[in-house]
Homo-oligomer: A and B are copies of this chain.
Amino acid sequence: MRNIKLKIAYDGGRYYGWQRLKDNDQTIQGKLESVISEMVQSYTEIIGSGRTDAGVHAKGQITNFHTDSIMTLEEMHRYINRYLPQDIVVKEITQVSDRFHSRYHAKSKKYTYYVWNHYTHSPFHRKYSCHLPKKLDVPLMKEAAAKFIGTHDFIGFSSLKKTKKSTLRTINELNILSQDNLMSFTFVGDGFLYNMIRIIVGSLVEIGLHEKELSHIDKVLEKNVRSKAGITMPPQGLFLEEVYY
The interface residues of chain B lying within 8 Å CB-to-CB of A86 are 121, 123, 126
- Chain A: interface size category: 20 to 34
Tell me whether A199 is interfacial, beta carbon within 8 Å. no
Contact B11 A123, beta carbon cutoff 8 Å: yes
**Least CB distance, A121 to chain B, in whole angstroms:** 6
Tell me whether A170 is interfacial, beta carbon within 8 Å. no
Fill in one digit per residue for A1-32: 1 if any B CB lies within 8 Å of its CB, else 0: 00000000111000000000000000000000
Contact A89 B120, beta carbon cutoff 8 Å: yes
Fill in one digit per residue for A64-97: 1 if any B CB lies within 8 Å of its CB, else 0: 0000000000000100010000111111000000
Binding site for B on A (CB under 8 A): 9-11, 57, 59, 77, 81, 86-91, 120-124, 126, 128
Contacts A11-B124, A57-B124, A87-B123 supplied; 15 other A-B pairs, CB < 8 Å: A9-B123, A9-B124, A10-B123, A11-B123, A59-B124, A81-B120, A86-B121, A86-B123, A86-B126, A87-B126, A88-B123, A89-B121, A89-B122, A91-B120, A124-B128
